[in-house]
Chains A and B, each alone.
Chain A
Amino acid sequence: MTTIRTFMTDDHRHCDDLFAEAEQALGSKNLSAAQAAFAHFRTAMLAHFAGEEKTLFPAFEECTGMRMGPTQVMRMEHDQMRSLFDEAADALARGEVEDYFGVAETLLIMMQQHNMKEENILYPMCDQHLADSAAQLVAQLEGELTEA
């Protein structure tokens, strides 16, 4: 059975791939391809955040009673990343590649350290506490992520 951890971690890697596409397009100086790839990445990330905020986190909070704990921090980091997406997309729209690199660097580390906390700490906790409903949650998340 696919665990919450495996499923969500795979989606993180999928988003990383999309981020890398934007990087590589810029590496070969193709601005419009980079813009398209970044838009794609942003959509996938926003869908991932939405799946967590609307489905996974509420289930975790319901089960553990922890409403102001780790999920709250994850939500705050989502907001920080959302504003970095805006800044990066804006820099690309203006064709300011240097500005994009600066924001992308920040975004990349922000995103990876966030993913690490989820993959190593929060998702294993979800699997542990939500063992009974994990299969159903994964199916639901899968539906939400493919819709996007």
Chain B
Amino acid sequence: MQALLSFDKAPPFAAPLRFFLTAPIFAMLAGLLLAWSGGEMLASRWMPDLLAAVHLLTIGFMLQIMLGAMIQILPVVAGANLARPLRVASWLHGGLSTGAILLAAGFWFGQPALLSAAALALGLSTFAFLGAAGRALSGVPSTSPTIRGLKLALGALAVAVLLGAVLALALARGWPLPIMHLADLHAGWALGAWGGTLLAAMAYVVVPMFQLTPGYPARPSWWFPGLLIALALTWGAAVIGESEWGIRAAQGGMALVGIAFAVLTLRLQGQRRRARADVTYRYWQLGLYCAIFALFQALTATIVPQLAEWAGWSILFGILMVVGAFMSFIVGMLYKIVPFLAWLHLQNAGCVPAPAMNKLLADAPMQRQWQAHVLALILLLGAVVLPDLLARLAGLALAVAAGGLFYNLLAAVRRYRTYLEAAKTR
């Protein structure tokens, strides 16, 4: 009831926007690190500079946008209002940005103190956010698969961050832990249980919304998030119980659930009823195919573990999953969300009629940025096979694609401000 009374209070534009605008800078940094380090970075998944670049992408880019969007989305989809969203946004943004930089620097320079500081900054800011989101969600009934998915996803984030912090501290202080198993588990909770569940919960809303597809069938929608979390828990239990077989079974199960979800989404997108294939649709198609490919890879490795002995195996998986799948889904959504929010806030500020979305961010620059992203992805995948030849170029291409995203979003925000000023002086 409390939540319902105030579900009109959309947070100010500045709350989510700061996350959306700084995230591309972290992706640019990741690209530049690769351009700087070159092919050596891709020698193994444990290379410190690769770990730095990966976390610039997963925390600096992905987590930043995921939580920034969460501040916006909680009131709309769940009627759950964060108290003082602008203040939450401000410390969360500061904590995540600082944490991402500290963590990347800690890996890059091999500095235990930086790794510990990163664990502290990221742990504190995420858990403080989880507390705020938990308070907003308490008493909100799970009337839709999306609301339940969001709740489960937030729980999974807690585990992913906790595992990450333990790993960072274990590296910094030399704790005797099974680092490799824990790193896999951390990645499984971060990308699968948190990322996958959040993606599914959001997809239930945005795929029909943006593409006018039929809705997701009710039963699988309720099951996907719970199943992913249950399998991730099984994986954790198998690590504790030192059961190789259990670990592989849980990993395979998560891959299968992910594939089923991606195939279902592809089928729904095949029934879309929009007049044009816009850039969001292209990004999602790319993301879904990359996810399916990566998950098949993961599934195969659970059956034939020798495959993963090739150093490029996990790197290929990481590129497909992070740059090919998650970044694509996220950028595809940003290209709808940012112009729409700009329109909404202009409208609410009395700029009536507000300029339509394509006047705030036109199709052509988004299409160009999409092409840059595809090129970067192809070069990155190529660099796994030909690191010496392609790694630097791939890094530059990633930086250019992320720079294009930054430029496009900034241009939309500038147009928004121009219209806003004009409306005020009128």
Contact = CB atoms under 8 A, between A and B. Distances in A.
Given A120-B77, A120-B146, A125-B4, A106 B205 contact: no
B210 interface: yes
Contacts of A122: 4
B71 to A, nearest CB: 15
B209 A112 contact: yes
B418 interface: no
Given A103-B356, A105-B356, A120 B212 contact: no
A118 B253 CA distance: 36
Contacts of A106: 340, 343, 356-357
B141 A23 contact: no
Given A108-B209, A124-B143, A83 B5 contact: no
A131 interface: no
Interface stretch (B86-94, B268-276, B298-306): B268-276
A113 B209 contact: yes
Contact of A116 (B5, B76, B343, B347): B76
B143 A69 contact: no
B5 A105 contact: no
A64 to B, nearest CB: 9
B358 interface: yes
A77 to B, nearest CB: 9
A20 interface: yes
A91 B209 CA distance: 22
A108 B212 contact: yes
Interface string A80-118: 100100010000000000110111011011101100110
B422 interface: no
Contacts of A108: 209-210, 212
Interface in A101-148: 101-103, 105-106, 108-110, 112-113, 116-117, 119-122, 124-125
B8 A73 contact: yes
Nearest to B205: A116
Contact of B212 (A23, A101, A119, A124): A23
Interface residues of A, number: 35
A102 B147 CA distance: 30
A19 interface: yes
Contact of B78 (A16, A23, A103, A120): A120
B174 interface: no
B4 A24 contact: no
A120 B209 CA distance: 15
B7 A73 contact: yes
Contacts of A39: none
Interface in B329-373: 336, 340, 343-344, 347, 352-353, 356-359
Nearest to A105: B357
Interface string B264-284: 000000000111100000000
Contact of B276 (A20, A27, A72, A109): A27
A109 B210 contact: yes
Contact of B347 (A23, A70, A80, A99): A80
A121 to B, nearest CB: 4
A66 interface: yes
A75 B336 CA distance: 24
A50 B205 CA distance: 25
A34 to B, nearest CB: 9
Nearest to A101: B358
A14 B143 CA distance: 21
A72 B6 CA distance: 11
Contact of B79 (A20, A110, A121): A121
B226 interface: no
Nearest to A109: B340
Contact of A19 (B212, B347, B352): B212
A28 B198 CA distance: 36
A134 B347 CA distance: 35
B208 interface: yes
B205 to A, nearest CB: 6
A98 B4 CA distance: 38
B4 A121 contact: yes
A80 B10 CA distance: 15
Contact of B353 (A73, A87, A116): A87
A36 interface: no
5 contacts: A70-B8, A102-B358, A109-B357, A110-B340, A112-B209
For the complex of A and B, the 9 pairs showing the least CB-CB separation, nearest first, are: A102-B356, A73-B8, A102-B358, A27-B275, A20-B273, A112-B209, A121-B79, A23-B275, A26-B275
Interface of A: 16, 19-20, 23-24, 26-27, 66, 69-70, 72-73, 80, 83, 87, 98-99, 101-103, 105-106, 108-110, 112-113, 116-117, 119-122, 124-125
Given A117-B76, A120-B144, 16 more contacts: A16-B212, A19-B212, A23-B274, A27-B274, A27-B275, A70-B8, A102-B358, A105-B336, A106-B340, A106-B356, A108-B209, A108-B212, A109-B340, A110-B344, A113-B209, A117-B7
